[in-house]
Structure 1
Amino acid sequence: MNSSPSPSWLGRLQRRLRARLARPQTLFLGIDGVQGAALSRPEAWADWCRAHAGSAVRLSLSSRLLHELVCQPGLPLDDEAALLAYARQQFGQYFGAAAKTWSLASWRLEAEPQAGLGEQCGAIALHGSAAQGWREFAAEHGVRLTQVQPAWALALQRLAQDEPEWRSAEQAALAWLEGQVLTWLTLSSGRLAGLRQLRLREATPEALAELLQELLQAQPGLPAAQVHVMGYGLQGTGTALNLGPALRLQGRLDAAAPDLAQLEPGAAAPSRRLPRPDFLGAPRERSPLAWPLAATAALVLATAGWSAWQAYTDRLQQQTQLARLKATQAAAPRAKAQTTPLAAVAVPARSRDAGKTVPDASRPAQEVQALLRQPWEAVLVQVEQAGAALKPAPLAWLSMDVNGSRQELRLEGLASDKLLPLQLVDRLAAEAGWRDVMLSRLQNAEQGLTGQRFELTAKFRGDLLRSPVAAAPESPEAAASATAPAKHKAGEARR
């Protein structure tokens, strides 16, 4: 069975990586298709995605593809799900069953109690054949969508950044034109105050001027100098436009497509006091710790990789050394067989100082014999008696370790009081044959034990510890019978 990745899977992965690294470009999706700076005429969204697989797009939507809904204040729409459900119900009542399949986006402005302003919210529905399958086509061809927002929302955010005085005015307005569709947005001290979608009787300068004059008359406090007019699709020449005195035109209203520069995001962060509906969902704020955490993760991965490489090289070196050692050990018997006659000849010549140059092979056996010759009975009896005589309670012994060559003894036990180990040291130091009796450790017992755990070390002289009875001449049979328990206790002590 072939488990190699299929070409389609590899192609999707490559497109996804290219889209992740690509710089987003702004496109405008209208009723005729998608338009961009590099396109001479509109193209269908599916065709554009197929031709630009692995791209990143910031998609702006025409008002002709949108229906607006501004919710009345006081409705119980506290969360996003409730707001979208209410909007789908309202769109269904107005436009029928077809509205149930439309894509929805919501927006919400937080309340400002200090200014006496309540919460505002609304929703937008995306409809029309040009917008069908916009998400599916992008996913199929690996096109990364960074945002899908109405063109009027992008233009409003960009104008608010470019015109800070206009944004901070007590009353201001933006008229976003797309042919016969006019989106009227009013602001109050930089916060959205109204959103309406209106329709001109025809896409002419006269019809636009007439509608704007009606809107200005409906808001007496709104000066004409604070009204910006932007968009495209108006019939007539740009030089002949006369919409009335003091109105501020942005760009050519008679263009066939919007000016994408007006829809590009500004350098500053978007204003929270202006709506930002996005069909991809609410925009997530990037944490200020994102880059530091990413750098830390990269450093950790680099350190782990370096450690793994070091471990790999160390393992190779150890394997090489092990192979050399095995080869040396395999060649050692042959070398020993070849040098045996020379050694046999050389040994008699050095026989006078053999004790100095030839290692003593029986040294371990001599140490064992010296250990067995120790007066274990006297050592154990004196230690037991010293511990049992302590008050208020005797000691509990945990371990004993003996070095026969140096005649050193290490005892470890458990006492109910800190004073008892000190008394034990005094008792052993007072006995004949004991010296350098010291308390090397005293601490609280670990979990599961009670009392004080201690450790003491001491040196003893076996000849002084022998009792008069043990020092008398004995027969070989008696000596053997007396040595047997000592050997048994010595073995237990070493364990």
Structure 2
Amino acid sequence: MNSSPYAFKRLRRRLLASFAQPQALFLGSEGVSQAGDAKPQVFADWCHAHAGAAAEITVSAQLLHELVCEPGLPLQDESALQAYARQLFGHYFGAVAKHWAIASWRVSSAGAPEQCGASALHGAAGAGLQASAQQFDVSLRSVQPAWAPLLRRLAAQQPDWFKAPCAALAWVEGQVLTWLLLEDGRPGVLRQLRLAAPTQVALAETLRELCGVGEPAHRAKIWVGGYGLDSAVPLASQAWPGLQVAGRLDARGPELAWFEVPAAARALALPLPDFLGARTPRSGLAWPLLGLGLFTLLLAGWSAGLGRQQLLQAAEQRAALQAELRNLAPGAPKPLAPTSKTAPLKSAELEQQRTAAEVQGLLRQPWEALLANVEQAGADAGPAGTLSWLALDFNAARQELRLEGLAQDKGAALALVDRLAAAPAWGDVVLSRFQNAEQGLSGQRFELSAKLRPSLLQLELAALAAKDEKK
């Protein structure tokens, strides 16, 4: 009984975290920090203080090693690319590199060979990020190298810089410099270098060597940003045409606003490495499903409280009746069987126990995986707005689920049925009703029923292609 409120609390916290606005964090060698933080902290401590929240992590260049693959290598899928990257990192950095997290990326464009590469995350601060997030029900949305969101933001906000024949991004953190060179908007060179000293004079000397000032290449447009340098001789005083310095390079930490990616930049053909792997975009069904899930949880909690109250009342009445019987004098005639009072009491008690059992069954269900399956199947059934949900009804005793919704055409509803039926946890998926929606609703109203096997539910549905290959 004591575990049920805790399970309910964790389930509610996970659902809220899944749809919470993510908080921007910067991961350095000492831990994570937010805008305005005076001192970094261990990520597990941050999760403990922000249980049920969401986070997007930008990783410091001081915790990264970068790799750009030679064009033409036979790296057709992500597993081959990651295996190749891990082999090279292991060759240069030893056996410890076998345990580093790898974030791979690819860029394809018409008329040019595909480019690919990988980032490796090392250091104690980056270990166990996902485990800490899961322990405290924190939704970890992304863990990206600092240069990746920065490049996307600049591409959207400074199109002249991005579309220049030769453009460069120089991101500096103390003595660590990340140098990204673009040609006509395509990444060509990605290197990490170490400055001779954490000074703006040393940075200027390194940039001159990289872009060849005095040569034709000095026409490159260079954007420079970062932190951790001295303030003795500002880089702006040593600047040359095409060099743009953003912010204060002598700041103690980065400006996290630099890593906020505008919506217009998400569709650009630019590297998108993520140490969490490929992420499924959230569909337009997310918020309706969240509303259905929260409504179900609130109803279950209310039913549990009501059932418990009724059980306590029945127990008190039963104890009072037993005490009254014990107080009868010896030899006194026993009362007749109180069928008119005890029978309704027993029936009510059984009904309360049944209601409590149903509530307990609902609380034990894997709601997060169930709602995620419905959301993903709806997203795969058609473009955003094709499906809208009206109701969800689940019978925990019979493991039967009923969904009601609106579809713009019958094909979307049938595609939804096929997508769920292909999952191992879903059985007897049937489109039981399909008719014109009543007045005030747009589309066709449908009803779907299914039998569930909760132990087989996964957070993500298996790809249909993989299932077809097995056949």
TM-score, with length taken from structure 1 = 0.57
Deviations 1:417-451 (A, max 9, x none): xxxxxxxxxxxxxxxxxxxxxxxxxxxxxxxxxxx
Query: Whole-Å Cα distance in 1 between the matches of residues 214 and 4 of structure 2?
Result: 64
The residue that corresponds to 2:201 in the other structure is 206
The residue that corresponds to 2:127 in the other structure is 132
Q: Which 4+ residue blocks in structure 1 deviate beyond 6 angstroms?
A: 302-305
Q: Determine whether 1:154 maps to 2:149.
A: yes
The residue that corresponds to 1:228 in the other structure is 223
Native 8 Å contact 1:190 1:273 kept in 2: no
Instruction: Give the letter aligned to residue 92 of structure 1.
Output: G
Query: How far off is 1:46 after superposition?
Result: 1.1
The residue that corresponds to 2:266 in the other structure is 270
Gaps of 5+ in 2: 284-378, 393-402, 407-431, 436-471
The residue that corresponds to 2:275 in the other structure is 279
Query: Whole-Å Cα distance in 2 between the matches of residues 81 and 294 of structure 1?
Result: 34
Q: 1:99 aligns with which of 80, 86, 97?
A: 97
Alignment root-mean-square deviation, CA = 2.6
Q: 1:260 aligns with which of 252, 256, 260?
A: 256
Question: For structure 1, which segment, 281-290 or 137-146, has the greater mean C-alpha deviation from structure 2 after superposition?
Answer: 281-290
Q: 1:294 to 1:57 in 2, by over 3 A?
A: farther
Query: Whole-Å Cα distance in 2 between the matches of residues 33 and 53 of structure 1?
Result: 17
Q: Determine whether 1:251 maps to 2:247.
A: yes
Deviations 1:74-110 (A, max 9, x none): 2111111111111111111111111111111100111
Deviations 1:310-347 (A, max 9, x none): xxxxxxxxxxxxxxxxxxxxxxxxxxxxxxxxxxxxxx
Q: Determine whether 1:295 maps to 2:396.
A: no
Deviations 1:441-484 (A, max 9, x none): xxxxxxxxxxxxxxxxxxxxxxxxxxxxxxxxxxxxxxxxxxxx
Q: 1:294 to 1:47 in 2, by over 3 A?
A: farther
Secondary structure of 2:79's counterpart equals helix
Secondary structure of 2:113's counterpart equals coil
Map 1:371-382 onto structure 2 (within 5 A): none
The residue that corresponds to 1:175 in the other structure is 170
Deviations 1:245-271 (A, max 9, x none): 231001111111111111001131425
Secondary structure of 2:188's counterpart equals strand
Q: Determine whether 1:119 maps to 2:114.
A: yes
Percent of aligned pairs sharing the same letter: 50
Query: Whole-Å Cα distance in 2 between the matches of residues 133 and 30 of structure 1?
Result: 14
Q: Determine whether 1:196 maps to 2:299.
A: no
Q: 1:35 aligns with which of 30, 33, 52?
A: 33
Query: Whole-Å Cα distance in 1 between the matches of residues 167 and 212 of structure 2?
Result: 14
Instruction: Give the letter aligned to residue 385 of structure 2.
Output: P
Query: Whole-Å Cα distance in 2 between the matches of residues 126 and 197 of structure 1?
Result: 14
Q: 1:298 to 1:245 in 2, by over 3 A?
A: farther
Q: 1:242 to 1:225 in 2, by over 3 A?
A: farther
Query: How far off is 1:7 after superposition?
Result: 4.0
Query: Whole-Å Cα distance in 2 between the matches of residues 257 and 106 of structure 1?
Result: 26
Q: Larger C-alpha radius of gyration, 1 or 2? A: 1
Native 8 Å contact 2:227 2:253 kept in 1: yes
Query: How far off is 1:239 after superposition?
Result: 5.6
Query: How far off is 1:291 after superposition?
Result: 3.8
Q: 1:55 aligns with which of 53, 56, 78?
A: 53
Query: Whole-Å Cα distance in 1 between the matches of residues 89 and 235 of structure 2?
Result: 39
Instruction: Give the letter aligned to residue 301 of structure 1.
Output: E
Instruction: Give the letter aligned to residue 170 of structure 2.
Output: A
Q: 1:211 to 1:271 in 2, by over 3 A?
A: farther
Query: How far off is 1:273 after superposition?
Result: 2.9
Query: Whole-Å Cα distance in 2 between the matches of residues 108 and 297 of structure 1?
Result: 40
Deviations 1:115-168 (A, max 9, x none): xx2111111111101111111101111111111111111111101110011111
Q: 2:160 aligns with which of 156, 161, 165?
A: 165
Map 1:468-487 onto structure 2 (within 5 A): none
Instruction: Give the letter aligned to residue 57 of structure 2.
Output: L
Query: Whole-Å Cα distance in 2 between the matches of residues 272 and 64 of structure 1?
Result: 26
Q: 1:10 aligns with which of 2, 8, 13?
A: 8
Instruction: Give the letter aligned to residue 72 of structure 1.
Output: E
Query: How far off is 1:209 after superposition?
Result: 0.5
Native 8 Å contact 1:109 1:274 kept in 2: yes
Query: How far off is 1:216 after superposition?
Result: 1.2
Native 8 Å contact 1:238 1:253 kept in 2: no
Q: 1:224 to 1:234 in 2, by over 3 A?
A: farther
Query: Whole-Å Cα distance in 1 between the matches of residues 214 and 92 of structure 2?
Result: 28
Instruction: Give the letter aligned to residue 51 of structure 1.
Output: A
Q: 1:286 to 1:134 in 2, by over 3 A?
A: closer
Map 1:421-440 onto structure 2 (within 5 A): none
Instruction: Give the letter aligned to residue 102 of structure 2.
Output: L
Secondary structure of 1:295's counterpart equals strand
Question: For structure 1, which segment, 296-305 or 88-97, has the greater mean C-alpha deviation from structure 2 after superposition?
Answer: 296-305
Map 1:285-324 onto structure 2 (within 5 A): 289=382, 291-296=384-389, 301=404
Native 8 Å contact 2:223 2:246 kept in 1: yes
Query: Whole-Å Cα distance in 2 between the matches of residues 24 and 42 of structure 1?
Result: 18
Instruction: Give the letter aligned to residue 106 of structure 1.
Output: S
Query: How far off is 1:5 after superposition?
Result: 4.7
Secondary structure of 1:15's counterpart equals helix
TM-score, with length taken from structure 2 = 0.59
Native 8 Å contact 2:212 2:218 kept in 1: no
